[in-house]
Each structure stands twice: as C-alpha cells, then as structure tokens.
Amino acid sequence: MAYGRRRRQNQAQGSEDVQGPSSALSAFLREQGINADSVRLRYEDNVRREQEMIERQQQLEQEQQEQEQQGQEEQGQSGNILNDNLTDIGEASGLDSDEEVYEGDDKNDTEVALIKERARAKRRRVDGNDAAGFNADHGVGKNYCIECDKEFAISVYSKKMEKYGRVGYLCPSCTKIAIRRERLAKRNEIEARKKRKKIAAALLDKQAFRLPSLQDFCIKIITENINDVDLLGDIGVNNRKKISRILAKKRSLDSKTMRLFLEPSLRELEFWDCSKIDKAALGQIPAICPKLESLTLNMCGHLHKDNMLYYGEKLTNLRYLDLNGPFLINDQIWQDFFDSKVGKNLTAFHLRNTHRFTSDSLVTLLDNIGDQLEELTLSRLDGLDSKGVYDLLPHYLHSIKYLEISYPHKEELIDDDMIVNLMANNGEHLETLILEGCSYLTDQFLVSGLKPFCPNLTKLSLKLLDQITDNGVTQLFTDWNINGGLMDLDLTRCISLTDNSIYKALEHCSQTLVQLKLNSVKGLTKKVFLRLSRNIRFPLLTSMDLGFVRSVDDSVLAILSRIAPKLSILEIYGNSRCSDKAIVRGDLRIIGRETDSI
C-alpha cells in the first residue's frame, strides 16, 4: 500500500516539471515519492491512530466494567465473553482489519460502525485522487505485479522477487524481460571471465592482448599443416624466422620441416629445437647454405662428429657458431674442428651443456683463435674441470667483447684472481660480462677487476653470486667515472646486498639502464625506493624484475611507474603486498600479482 501511494504520487508529480535547484537528497526523496506532505500525512495518521486506540481502550474498559456489573447481576451471559475475546484479537492483530472481526454484535454496533467509518475515511485520505480505487478492492486471489503494478493471474512461471522491501511476483511480460536481462547478465559475466583469462594469459607472455594480425593467422595455419608444405616461397625473412620459431616451440621442427628453411642465399640460420633433426638433415645445412655466416643450433644432441667435420670443411664464411647440447662431439672432434679452416675463422663461439668439451678442447680453441675471439660463452661445461686451463684465459683472450662464463663444474674453478687478470687484459673491449653461478667470486673482482679496467661495460650479470656484499658493490659504483653506465644489470639472488649498495648501483646507471633484475635481493626495503623517488629518474628503463623482494608494495609500484616513464614490464612474482589497486600508468604491465590469476 505504501508503495502504491508513492508510485501514484510519482506519476502525479511527473507533470509539474519546472522546479528550482534542489539537492541530491531532495531529488532522491522526490524520486522515491517522499515529500513533506506524505510525511506529514503519515505522522497525522499515526497520531490519530494512537488517539483512537486510547479512546477505544477507555471505551472498552468502561464497557467491561459495565458488563462486569451486569454480569454480576445476570450471570451466565456467554456471548459477552466471546465478544471480549474477539475484541482482544482485534486489538492485537492490527486495528485496521476489523471489518471481518466485528460482525453482528448488537451491543457494539455503534462502536463498530464508528470504527468502520473512520477506517473508510482513512482509506479515502490515503487513496487521494485514485480513481481506480486500487486499494479498496485489494483482496484475496488477486495479484499485482511488484514492478508494473499490473493485475495478473499468478502461475508457476511467475518470477518471485524481493524488491522495495517486499516480496512479490512479476507479471508475465515483466517476467520475460527480467529473465532475458538475467540471461544477458550471465552471458556478459562469462564473456568478462573469458576476457580476463585471455588478458592474464597474454600477460604471462609479457604482452598486452591484441587482435592477431593476418600474418599471425596465416602462420598458425601453416604451422598446423607444415607437413603438407612443399615450399615456403617468398614469405619474407621475418615470417620465415617466425614460423621456424613457432615450429620449434611446438616441437614439430623435424628433418623434413627444417628443409623448408634452407636456402642457398641464407647468411643466418637458427634452429631452436634440433632434437628431431637427424644427422643426415644436419649435414644438408652446409650443402644448401654454403654462405652461412651465423649458425645457431639449440638442443642439437643429434649433431654427429661427421657433421662437425663437414661444417669444418664447408662453411667457409662462418664467423658465429652457437651450439647448445652437442654431446656427441668428443674432445678429439672439437680439436679437429678448431684446427680446421672454418674453426680458425670463428670470431664468436658459444657453447652450452656438454660434458665432452674438455680442458684440452679449450686449449686448442684458445691456441687457434684465442686472440681473435670477440664473443665466448662457456656455460655448464662439466668437462672443463681444470683450474689451470681457466687460468689460461687471460693469456689468450685480448679482444673479447662478450664473455660468458657461467655455472662452472666446480665453483672454485673461477676465482677472483683469474677474473681480475682477465679484466686487466681485456677490460677496455669488454661490453658484456656474464658470470652467473660463479659463486666463488667475492668483492675483490668487483673492486680490483671491474672498477679500474672496464670503461665500456654495458651489460653485467652477477646472478647467484652470494658472496658479493654491500661493501664491494658500493665501492664499484661509487665514482666509477671511467664507465658511462650499464644498460643491463642482473643482480638476481645476490642475497647479501641491501639498500645502500643497490642505491649506489642505480645512481650510477640511472641514465643508461634499460633492463634491471633484482629478483630475490631480499635485503631491499621500501626506504631505497623512497630515496630513489626523491633523487633519481630512469629515462630508459623498460624492463624490471623485482620478484621476491617482499618489501615491494603498491606504493613502490606507483613510485616506479612515475620515476621510470618508459618502464613497460615489471615482474613482481612472490610479492604479496602488491595488489591490483596499485596506481600505475596504463602502459605498464605488471606481471605476477596474485590478483591476476587466471
């Protein structure tokens, strides 16, 4: 009833549109059909009702007294007792529904008539101008839609709902609309979930989700049907490379499909998964591509000694060789290869993951091309177990620009003296130095090796060097004037480092730094970021890893977002204080938040 009144007042007010300015509260009240009149009316109602109740109570008490007196005079009148009970019930059950209760008692007739008359008057007041007389005939068996107020016959399909503080049913047409709306909401929810999933998946690939290009679609279809392709044709070097990489990722690069990528004019070739390419197919590389200058073979466990010797004979232009996992090649073959004319031409040699590359192999390599080598990688070579041979490196290498010595067989093999010596001989050329997992190294090589001898160093990786301390790093980066600044710094799991040294390092490199990894440098506190925020900007920093630096929180993210305007990838795995509420730039992708889970 209350709602009906509000609605009707609403409709009535719809016509009087021109109004002065009003507050949000009064607009809300008006919308809800609450105005001063209705409030006053309700108040008056209540007051009147209370008065009536009091009056009736008094009347009843009087009557009761009279009846008692009469009863004492004429005992055995049962009707009155019943009547009294009824009166009580009437009082208890809400006063307005008295029509049915008060029936046919002569004695109370006048009173009943009075009450009825009052009730009617009240309803008339409440209904106001309502012509339909809606409330008057609101009876049993009739249903009114809770939403549109239409009268309808309730059925099993009617939708029950709770609204405006009441429970009611919707009429068929409203039900239809509500169901359609619900279904739509459900579909939107599913859609949104799918969207979140895709965005989260793209985030893990360090990309923002975007519509695949037509080339991507084509490449997808080609890689799915690569076995039916006879010739790739003129699809462009980048697309060729892309297809090759996708095939490698899908592990479907094999002896047959790899031939699609061989071309006589090719100068560079890379196969990132050679595990299904057999000896015969590997032998075809120099036969079809004699002009190769750069060759990268990853996971090349099938690379046979015949292949290696054949390469040593035919690939006369080869300058760059990168092999990962060639464990069929033994010491003798390595020596033969380095003694061949191709081996003597190399300026870049990268080798990873083989135990058959021994100390003797390295000596032959150094003997032949040690002084011309510009790039050298020796990573995870367990056959190199002689410290004496590692100590030879400084004597042979003179023009090295890129040096990676990582994960040696035993940590003692790489010590401070050797690196200091190497820097003294090569430091002026050196641009990249990667010493991952050489955990025997201490502060000494930083202070006596890098600081005085490395003016051109731009990339430095000291991953897993747990013995270097604040002292060494601070000394290295304080007034390192000969060096113009690093572009790539990796201090992952240098767990002894804390705020001061990291601040010094970042202060030195701030203008040049592009990539920074501080994963698991757990000594870092929030203070260092506040200090950076006040004093330093990183104009070029684009990628940063702060995983498992637990002090990083939302405010640190906001600081980094501000002081590194080009930062686009920030990894923060394992930092539970970072949430999706962090206020960062839109083009900064934050990877590894718990809230981003798929």
Give residues in contact with another protein (CB under 8 A): 191, 194-195, 198-199, 209, 211-215, 217-219, 221-222, 225, 228-229, 232-236, 238-239
Give first-to-last CA distance, the chain, whole Å.
Answer: 49
C-alpha closest to that of 64 among 39, 88, 95, 40: 88
- Provide the b/e sequence for 5-25 (b: ≥16 CB within 10 Å): bbebbeeeeeeeeeeeeeeee
CB of 195 to another protein, least distance (A): 4
CB of 252 to another protein, least distance (A): 16
**What does the alpha-carbon distance between residue 274 and residue 252 come to, in Å, rounded to a whole number?**
10
Rg (CA), the chain: 44
CB of 217 to another protein, least distance (A): 5
CB of 180 to another protein, least distance (A): 21
Q: Which two tokens stand for residue 126?
A: 């409440």
CB of 536 to another protein, least distance (A): 37
C-alpha closest to that of 203 among 580, 563, 492, 529: 580
Q: Between 72 and 225, whose beta carbon lies closer to another protein?
A: 225
The partner residues of 36 in beta bridges, in order of sequence, read none
Q: Between 196 and 398, whose beta carbon lies closer to another protein?
A: 196
Query: 3-class DSSP state for residue 106?
Result: coil
In this structure, are residues 271 and 245 in contact, taking their beta carbons and an 8 Å threshold?
no
Q: Between 1 and 184, whose beta carbon lies closer to another protein?
A: 184
CB of 210 to another protein, least distance (A): 8
Task: Give backbone dihedrals phi and psi of 403, rounded to 5 degrees, phi first.
Answer: -130, 125
Q: Between 42 and 259, whose beta carbon lies closer to another protein?
A: 259
C-alpha closest to that of 403 among 394, 411, 416, 413: 394
Task: Give backbone dihedrals phi and psi of 181, rounded to 5 degrees, phi first.
Answer: -65, -40
DSSP one-letter code for 226 = G
**What does the alpha-carbon distance between residue 191 and residue 208 come to, in Å, rounded to a whole number?**
18
The residue behind tokens 């100068």 is: 267
- The CA–CA distances, whole Å, from 286 to 73, 264, 307, 333, 510 equal 134, 9, 9, 18, 46
CB of 391 to another protein, least distance (A): 51
**What does the alpha-carbon distance between residue 594 and residue 575 come to, in Å, rounded to a whole number?**
8
Cα–Cα–Cα angle for 173, 176, 178, rounded to 5 degrees: 110
H or E element: which one contains 530?
helix 526-535
Can you spell out the DSSP letters for 433-467?
EE-TT-TT--HHIIIIIIHHH-SS--EEE-TT-TT
DSSP one-letter code for 169 = E
**What does the alpha-carbon distance between residue 492 and residue 460 come to, in Å, rounded to a whole number?**
11
- The CA–CA distances, whole Å, from 485 to 140, 450, 561 equal 87, 13, 22
- The CA–CA distances, whole Å, from 16 to 10, 13, 26, 131, 260 equal 10, 6, 16, 20, 80
CB of 549 to another protein, least distance (A): 32
CB of 227 to another protein, least distance (A): 12
Torsion of CA 376, 253, 219, 293, to 10 degrees: 30
Q: Between 43 and 217, whose beta carbon lies closer to another protein?
A: 217
Q: Between 13 and 239, whose beta carbon lies closer to another protein?
A: 239
Q: Between 238 and 481, whose beta carbon lies closer to another protein?
A: 238
Q: Between 78 and 225, whose beta carbon lies closer to another protein?
A: 225
**What does the alpha-carbon distance between residue 94 and residue 79 come to, in Å, rounded to a whole number?**
23
Q: Between 6 and 259, whose beta carbon lies closer to another protein?
A: 259
Q: Between 224 and 580, whose beta carbon lies closer to another protein?
A: 224
Q: Which amino acid is at 393?
A: L
Q: Between 60 and 218, whose beta carbon lies closer to another protein?
A: 218
CB of 204 to another protein, least distance (A): 15
CB of 582 to another protein, least distance (A): 22
Q: Between 239 and 296, whose beta carbon lies closer to another protein?
A: 239
CB of 247 to another protein, least distance (A): 14
Q: Between 18 and 214, whose beta carbon lies closer to another protein?
A: 214
DSSP one-letter code for 136 = T
